Amino acid sequence: MNHELKSSTQPDAEPTASRSTVPMWIVVLLLVLLFLGGVYFDHHSGWFDAQVYQPYASAEELDAYQPKSGAAAMLAQGKRTYDMICGVCHGPDGMGKPNQAPPLAGSEWVNAKGFARLAHIPLTGLNGPLEVEGKDWNLSMAPMGAALSDADLANVLSYIRESWGNKAGPVTADDIKSVRAALGARPQPLNEQQLKALAE
């Protein structure tokens, strides 16, 4: 009895840690975890490229998934620009709006054989009376397309010339480049006579 009491109040000396080596299984486990972490990093980090997000694993893969600029993709791009800039007045359906903008769908200016007259309108602007589909309009349009790049303007004009029943054919960026080059630095808005004086 006396002996038991003594042992419960006065334990043996403080336990001390012995100097033994780290167990081998912990070393192996850590190496396996390090390896798995490395594999995960390789698959998911994109090597810290600021532009690479999941699900793309690398800059090369992201590059491979960039849409090619085929004809249909250019038209889709043109539609986006049209809806943002042109469609505000000419309407998303190309039907125009009374006292605001004449229609583009079926318009003889859009469906001309050549692109030159149509391409001038967004580049220089248009002023004064104009006959469209037998109706007289007397409005003015600012050079809404002058700030667009050649490629963007070509896409918009291609979209206008190939939508809503128009079948006039696409315009290329080089076409716009040549028109723009002939215009000079500060083109003035054209009127109907000047527009008709241009080659088609």
Partner 1 sequence: MKNGAAVFLAVFIALGLSWCGFVLAPIHQLGGVKQTTVLNSSELYPIGRPGDANSGLQVYRANGCAACHTEQVRQTGVACDVVLTGAGKNPEAVSNLVSTLKLDGLAKEVAEAMSDKITAAGGKAEIHIFATGPDIRRGWGMRQSVAEDYLYDYPVQLGSLRVGPDLSNIGMREPDLNWQLVHLYAPAAEAKGSTMPPFGYLFEVRKIGGAPAPDALVFPKGSGPPAGYEVVPKPEARELAAYLLSLRLNVPVYDAPFTP
d(CA 67, CA 71): 12
- Token pair in block for residue 133: 């589909």
d(CA 67, CA 136): 43
d(CA 200, CA 120): 11
Shortest approach of partner 1 to residue 150 CB, angstroms? 9
Shortest approach of partner 1 to residue 43 CB, angstroms? 14
Shortest approach of partner 1 to residue 84 CB, angstroms? 8
Contacting residues toward partner 1, per CB under 8 A: 48-56, 62, 64-74, 76-77, 79-81, 148-149, 151-152, 155
Hey, which residues does 97 pair with through a beta bridge?
Answer: 101
CB nearer to partner 1: pick between 81 and 166: 81
CB nearer to partner 1: pick between 81 and 191: 81
Shortest approach of partner 1 to residue 151 CB, angstroms? 7
CB nearer to partner 1: pick between 25 and 53: 53
Q: Per the omega criterion (within 30 degrees of 0), is the bond before 92 cis?
A: no
CB nearer to partner 1: pick between 75 and 119: 75
Q: For residue 199, which phi and psi values (nearest 5 degrees)? A: -65, 145
Least Cα distance to 119 among 88, 144, 94, 91 occurs for 144
Shortest approach of partner 1 to residue 79 CB, angstroms? 8
CB nearer to partner 1: pick between 75 and 130: 75
